[in-house]
Structure 1
Amino acid sequence: MIRGILFDKDGTLVDFFSLWLQAALAVTPAFLEENRIQPDKDMTDYVLRAMGVEDGKVDPRGALAYKSYQEIAADICQALEKKGITLDPARAQEQLERLFDENVTGKNVSYTQVTDIKKMLRALKEKGICVGLATADTMRSAKSCLKKLGTYQEFDYVGADDGVKRPKPEADMFLEFQHKFNLKPEEIAVVGDTYNDVVFARNNGGIAIGVLSGVSSEEDFRGEADYILDSVKDLPGLLERMD
């Protein structure tokens, strides 16, 4: 029986493409300029590919889809090294965090909900299910998003990149959520739109639920996730069938 659910954020609760794809397209040339690298089309496209973005499409197993800023910075620095350009990974991480946060937390930024998040979370909590967030986003950005949506208070737990916890699929957020509510691993479902979310669930003994509302297709989840849903809209029906 599921007693706790850890939701991914982008691509699972809110639309990924209108937020993060557009942010990546804006941040990349700004990042290059800060590092005194000419942000021409070839170089911009090269760095975007290092993030897993090509021709306006996001690789579901690419960096932008699921990695932390530290990991994205490492991928970009490694790619630039091949062109004879050396950047400090720590500085690159700071730049990416700042530029992305400025882009996705601005006053004019709007978030498209996959479903009525508040209504869904309240319905789950009425069933006695603890609800949490486990995202690769920074804590500042995650909280900003949830507060704009009016859903921050609905979450029993918010796990994000705070500079201390290791990113998914490492166990940190899963274990923190598990211990906070005295749950067994098999009582926790992880709902997300990437293979990384599936690994996060599987590695920690949870139930993996893949959703097709983000960067992944059904083929990406087949044989990997325990359940595959079109979106979190279908989660209540799945829980009823499981009960």
Structure 2
Amino acid sequence: MQVSTSNSSAMTSISQHKKEVDGDLNKVSSGKNSDAKKSSIVMIAHAMMSGALVDSQGVMNANDSIGMMQIADGVLSNVSQMSTKLQDLSVASNNAALNTTQRDALNLEFNSTLDAIGSSIESASFNGKSIFGSNLSFSLGDSEISVSLDGVNSSNMSIDSQESIENFTTSISQAMSEISSALNSADKSINYMMNSATQKMAASSQLSDTDMAKQIGNFEQNNIKLDISLIMQSHQKNISSQRMQALLN
């Protein structure tokens, strides 16, 4: 009876360890945690991954906004310099001592500079889309970046009106200030969304994927236990065989 009990205990131990080894091996092979099969865990993991994808798209949108606004900022910097020239020409033109030839030369240079400003504003584009003349909006998921560039209009300036030139210069300064603020906001948003996406992807992976190092460690430990159980069973069989042989003799 004692031999039978020992064999039964050994077989139970072997069966248990073999089941644990098989379970660990399946987890390592599939890369999926059994808990992830529960609908609530799966839903949370999917929500985390969805949030990470939204953040990733937000980063792409923010990068587009930076590219678009950098072009706008470069154009406005150049236009600002030309508007300073318009002011100088306007002041020079308002001089009663000028003759007709001199005044015509100033008007010609003013109009040429004005055309260059208009051309710079109209031709400014990003990905085939005009930059000026509209409000630019970029979705970042939970927030957005908006820049108003519809106030930059050079058509109302005249060499005889320094006020019109000053108003245009003011609109440029306001637009450049708004662009600078939006660029800072986009840069901060990118850093935030990249960190957020990384954390959400890690959380989703932790919920749905197997911790490979841990599972492999469990597999190795349970495999060792199985080997020990098999050795013990073999040893017990040898002892039982020896006892039976002794009884027969």
TM-score (ref. length: structure 2): 0.24
Larger radius of gyration: 2
Higher RCO (C-alpha under 8 Å, 6+ residues apart): 2
Say which structure is richer in strand: 1
